Structure 1
C-alpha cells in the first residue's frame, strides 16, 4: 500500500480524525457549564424535547417577607428568573459561629435557567442582608412541557423594534 493511500481516505469515507472530533468536541462542551447549557438548548431545539437540567429551582432564605418580596421582584425585573414562590415562616435551625441558632425565615423558590444560576447567585449575595445567605439550586429533571416552555419564554430579554 502506498503512503498516499494510507493518509488520504477514499472518497465518501470520513477521516478518523473527523470522527474523533465529532465525538470529543461535544463531550468537551458538556464539561463546561456555559457550553453544557448551550449544547443542551441546541439538543432540545433540534430534538423537540426537554433536556433534563436545562432549568433549575434556586432556594434562598430571607429574614422577613419584605426582603423576600424585594429580592423576588428585582430578580424578575432583571429577567434572572421566570417565577418566584415566597413560602412564609420556615423554621430554621443551623450552626452559626459554633452555636445552634433558631430562626423563622421566609423561603424563596426561584425558577430559572440553569445557565443563569451563577449570575443569579451573585446578584442575591450582593443585595441580601445575611453575611452568608442560603443560595443553592437543584436542576429540574422533568416537568410539564408547556410550563417549561413558558419558563424559557418568560426569561427572554425584551427586544426593541
Structure 2
C-alpha cells in the first residue's frame, strides 16, 4: 500500500476521497481571515508592536453634510464627540514617513495626532514621475 493510502482516515478507502480533500481545503480557505486576525492580535499582545494591516481606513460617500455628521458622531471618554477636522494630505517618500511623524508630534496640538501612511501602489505615471522629480534625495 502506498504512503497516502496508509494514512487515509476512512476505513475501506485506500485513498482520501476528493470530497474530503475539498472540504479541508475549503475550510482552511474560509478560516484564513479569522486565523490571520487572531495571529496578528496575539503577536501584537506578546511583542507590544504594531503589524501592518491590523487597521483599515474606511472611506464613506455621504449624500450631504448632515448625514456625514450623524455617522461621524462617536463616543469619546464617555461623551458624544462631534469635532470638525481638516484633512492634510502630505505626499512623501515612504522612507521619510517616520521622520515626518516625529515632526508632526512636535508641532501638533493633539496629545496623540492621527498620523498614518498608505503606500501609493498605482497612479498616473506622469504624476508619479513629477512627484519623484520634485522630491530631494538625501
Normalization by structure 1: what TM-score? 0.38
| Structure (1 or 2) with the larger CA radius of gyration | 2
Normalization by structure 2: what TM-score? 0.43
Structure with the bigger RCO (C-alpha within 8 Å, sep 6+) is 1
